[in-house]
Every structure is written in C-alpha cells, then in structure tokens.
Structure 1
Amino acid sequence: MHFVPINFTDPGFNPAYTADFELLVVINQHHFSYAVRHPATQRLVRVNTGNGLDELWNEEKGSELIASNYKKVNIAIETQSFCLVPNAVFSQEDLLDYTKFLVVKEADVILTDEIENGDNTVIFTFPKEVISKLTAQFQTSKIEFAPKGWIKAVMQAQLPGQNLYLYLEENRLQLLFPEGENIRFYNQFDCSTLDELVYFTALVTEQLKLKPEETTLILCGRIEEGGEQQLYLQQFFDQVSLFNSADFRQHSVLKQNQVANFLGLA
C-alpha cells in the first residue's frame, strides 16, 4: 500500500516566528513526520510527513526544527515493541516483569506512557541512541507513545454505533475497538498489501465476535475517500468510512482522518 505524503503550510504561518506554537514530532526507526500547532486554537498550521530520519539530524535540512524556538515540543514514538497493561494491575515495581512480553534489544530503552483515559499504561521500547539524540536536540525528557494521538482523537469523537477503527500505514495496520470510554482491543500488525489488510481486519472482527452487519469500519491514515483501501474493504465489509467528526476545526485542505495522529498528542 502506498500513501502520498502531506506537505501543508497555512498561508498565515511564518516559520521564523514559532515562540507561540507547539511542535509535534512523530518518529519511527526510518522516518519522521511533524506538525506545528497553535495551543490556543489547536489549529495545525504546518504538517509535513514521510521524511527520512537522517534529515532530522541534518543541520541544513532539519534547520526549521533544530533552530526554531517553540513554546512546547512533543516527541512521539512509533514502535511495534509495546504492551498495554490495565492500571488496575500495573505497578512500577513490576515494570521489568512486563518487558518479558516485549522484544527488548540490548541497545533499547524502556519507556512508559498512559493511553487516553488513564486506565491503561503502555510499556514500549526504542533504540537508546535515537532517544538520546531526541532529548538532547529538543531539550525534552518526555517521550510519548505515538498511537495515543489517533486513539485519543477517535475516543473523544464518540461516534455513534459499533465501530472498529483502523489506522493504515504503508507497512503497518493498527486496530482499535473501544467499549464505552474504555479500550477493549488495540493491536498492530505488519501489513503491506490489500489482502493482508482484509485478513487482519477479519481476524480481529472474528476474535471480538463482531457481526459485520452491525459494525462500521472507520479508517484513519493518509487515505483518500474512495481510495483503493476503502474500496477493497467494502468488498468484504458493508460499512466502511473515513474518520470524521463534527468538531474538526482545521484548515479545509487538511482531512481529519489524515492528521488524526497529531490531533490527540498532548
């Protein structure tokens, strides 16, 4: 699956004056994306996705991020090495015990974060070298779990009906099923083809014992209305739509489903 990168700048935003804005950076081991947000209006005035990670450390290419003086910087990590633990059973003393469920390499650092309603702690890992670079460059010690951004956005939208949420990327699929204000299911899968997209969605639907005729698939990610992913899923699931809620207050060029990962970052 292929997705077109976003490169948007609000005509009224001047990158030379960023002291009143927040910087949101989402990173995986190969790429990074970022957005600039006004904290009072919550409007995104700059969105840029799909950059090679090396550009972040390049003084010339990454100068807009390195040299700028933002009011606040949020760093969020995309990783497949994670574990969600209900706070009812989580304790910091048992942190190392939970890492047995993760793929932890010698050069990794173990991090924790909370998901949306604070009832779940996520434990995740990422290469220590990259984390050290990030904290030094952006002068921040808080590292967030990137999926919490779109999870918070869809949970707060409170869309009616029984909804299974999908976040689509080029090589990864995330699936979320809320139950009321809580997370009943969340997981990630390696996924690079349309057949794999249908397979993992059907697998989770069956595991959750959801009836297709009563369940709507709601898609997030850099996809277009009527795109191949949506059309292919519609061959197997009756109701497939793009994430959209009435309270979306952004520039008309930006589509809510495409920037959902930035919307919920604190």
Structure 2
Amino acid sequence: MNEHNYTYHDDNFSLDKTEDYTLLIQVEDKSFSYAISNNGKLIAWAENYPFDELSDPQELLDLLSAKYGQMIIGLPAHSFTLVPAELFSGERLPNLARFLDVKADSKVIAQVLDKENIIVYNTSEAIVSTAEEFGIRNTVFTSKGWLTAIAQNNPGNDCLYLNIEKEKVEIAHFASGKLRFYNSFDFNGDDELVYFTVLVANELNLEAKYTSLYVSGNIDADSKGLSRLAEFFKAAEVNNLQVLQLPAEVVAHRVLSIAALSLCALSEAV
C-alpha cells in the first residue's frame, strides 16, 4: 500500500473564519490526520502528522488552537467488542472489558455506534488525555462516520465494505440496511488482504462469485491489491461515496473515513 502524505488547503481557507468551520481529527496510535469542512465542503485536509503534533502542537499550533463551530475527534481502538444496545448497561462495562486486550496504560470507552449497537473499546490513556484537551464529548470511535455513511446509502446485502489504512483493513457487512458484521485485521501484503477478506466472506456465508467489494482508504484504483481482490470476488472497486463536496484533486475513496466523521454528532457515552 502507498504511504500518503498529502496536504490540501482551499484558497479561501482562513483561520479568521474557523467559527464557521468543522474540524475533523482522526487519530492513530502514532499519527493523526485532520480535515476541515465548511457548509458541506472540504476546505482543508492533511494526513500523517506525528501524534506529538496533536498533544504538543508546534507547526499546527494556530490551526489546532483556533475556535471551531464544531469539532469531532475519531479515536482508535486497540481492541473492541460490539454489544446490542438493549443488552448494554454501565454496570456490565467491567465484565465486557475482560474481552478486550486492556493494558495498564489503556482506557476503556463505551459509546453508541448506531441505533442497535454499543461499541466498547480500549485506547491509550495518552490519546484520551490529548482528546480531553479538545473536549472528550467531541470524541467518537474512529470508524463510526465511515459505517454511518455506508448505512445511509443503501448498502447491498451481497457486498463487503473495506477501509484500508497502512497495514490494517476494516471490513463491514450490512443486511437489510443494518450493520451485521464489523471487524479489523492487521495484514502484511496483498495475499493476506485477500485471505482476511475471503475469511470474512466465508464466515458470513457469502459466495465470493456473487459478492462485490467497495474499498476506501489507502489504496489506488489501479493497485495490485485491488486487482488481487477482484480475482476472487465478483467485483472489487474503490468506494466513490462522497459525504462532503470535494475539490477535483482529492479522490473520494481516500478521504471517505475522515470526511464521514462530519456525520457524527456529539458522542453518546454510555
């Protein structure tokens, strides 16, 4: 997969107008990306900044310290589990945390993922502490927007949705418009990407020859990885779903996950 390091700023972007903007931040373990939208239009995007620049900004000090109309921060999960909303209660959180790979420096969080699911996940305390400086109520699980965007756009019962960032792939499946499967896998190379995708299809009893893949994130439309996936499935193509109006130089599938954070209202901690 390609390691993108891209920066885009609209000519009309101004730090004097940030109260009209929405700041979207997507955090990974050691890096983060940001996007800024205004009236449904992407006006800034940059990726792969070191995490230290978020916790102790230097280059981005003016941008990150500005007052925005809305801010949404996507937090990564080191491990997670989905719990049906009707079965979840705060009292059960300690027991649910036992299913996670919780370390001494981890923080367990429970948030609403959609109307039917609560996601319980753990992330590092350093990430949570940094997020608290921006307002913890502004945080969501990092892929909530991506899943919401797909759910709102008539997902097919015979489709798998993939999002790739670096050497991690997220795979989601919907049935009758509702999320029925979501998981993530660390992979190394195209063969492992194919392996995990086929594994998920088999677990869901989806016949590969009838199953289409829609892929977003760190992958190119003409990449070998997409071609390899297409060898095993009915089709494999980039996901051109747009949740923000994009400039011509920004491809929709590359920014789908971070742009879709704009669909997330204030997080609902439970």
Rounded to whole Å, the distance in 2 between the matches of 1:223 and 1:156 is 23
The offset of 1:165, in angstroms, is 0.5
| Aligned residue runs from structure 1 range 253-264, under 5 A | 253-264=249-260
What's 2:79 paired with?
81
What's 2:165 paired with?
169
Pick from 200, 224, 231 the counterpart of residue 228 of structure 1. Answer: 224
Rounded to whole Å, the distance in 2 between the matches of 1:135 and 1:119 is 27
| CA-to-aligned-CA distance 1:8-67 (integer Å, 9 cap, x gap) | 1122212343111011111122110111112xx321111111111112234422213332
Rounded to whole Å, the distance in 2 between the matches of 1:85 and 1:148 is 15
Matched, 1:121 2:118: yes
DSSP-derived class of the 1:264 partner: helix
Matched, 1:3 2:12: no
| CA-to-aligned-CA distance 1:90-144 (integer Å, 9 cap, x gap) | 112111111111011122211122223x2100011112233112212x2444421
What's 1:30 paired with?
30
Rounded to whole Å, the distance in 2 between the matches of 1:119 and 1:64 is 39
Matched, 1:134 2:131: yes
| Aligned residue runs from structure 1 range 201-216, under 5 A | 201-216=197-212
The offset of 1:89, in angstroms, is 1.5
Rounded to whole Å, the distance in 2 between the matches of 1:120 and 1:5 is 34
Contact 2:54 2:130 in 1 (8 A): no
The offset of 1:253, in angstroms, is 2.2
Pick from 235, 241, 244 the counterpart of residue 240 of structure 2. Answer: 244
The offset of 1:7, in angstroms, is 1.4
DSSP-derived class of the 1:157 partner: coil
Matched, 1:99 2:97: yes
DSSP-derived class of the 1:203 partner: helix
**Identity over aligned pairs, percent:** 27
Change (3 A) 1:210 1:119: same
Rounded to whole Å, the distance in 1 between the matches of 2:50 and 2:243 is 33
Change (3 A) 1:15 1:89: same
Contact 1:153 1:263 in 2 (8 A): no
Structure 1 range deviating more: 188-197 or 230-239: 230-239
The offset of 1:245, in angstroms, is 3.7
Over 4 Å off, 4+ runs: none
TM-score, normalised on structure 1? Answer: 0.91
Unaligned runs of 5+ in 1: none
TM-score, normalised on structure 2? Answer: 0.90
| CA-to-aligned-CA distance 1:199-249 (integer Å, 9 cap, x gap) | 100111111111112110110103221122211212222311111247763
Matched, 1:185 2:185: no
Contact 1:87 1:120 in 2 (8 A): yes
Rounded to whole Å, the distance in 1 between the matches of 2:137 and 2:228 is 42
More helix by share: 2
The offset of 1:160, in angstroms, is 4.7
Rounded to whole Å, the distance in 1 between the matches of 2:78 and 2:57 is 29
Change (3 A) 1:59 1:5: closer
Rounded to whole Å, the distance in 2 between the matches of 1:160 and 1:204 is 16
| CA-to-aligned-CA distance 1:175-207 (integer Å, 9 cap, x gap) | 000111211110011113111101100111111
Change (3 A) 1:161 1:99: closer
Change (3 A) 1:11 1:147: same
Rounded to whole Å, the distance in 2 between the matches of 1:245 and 1:264 is 10
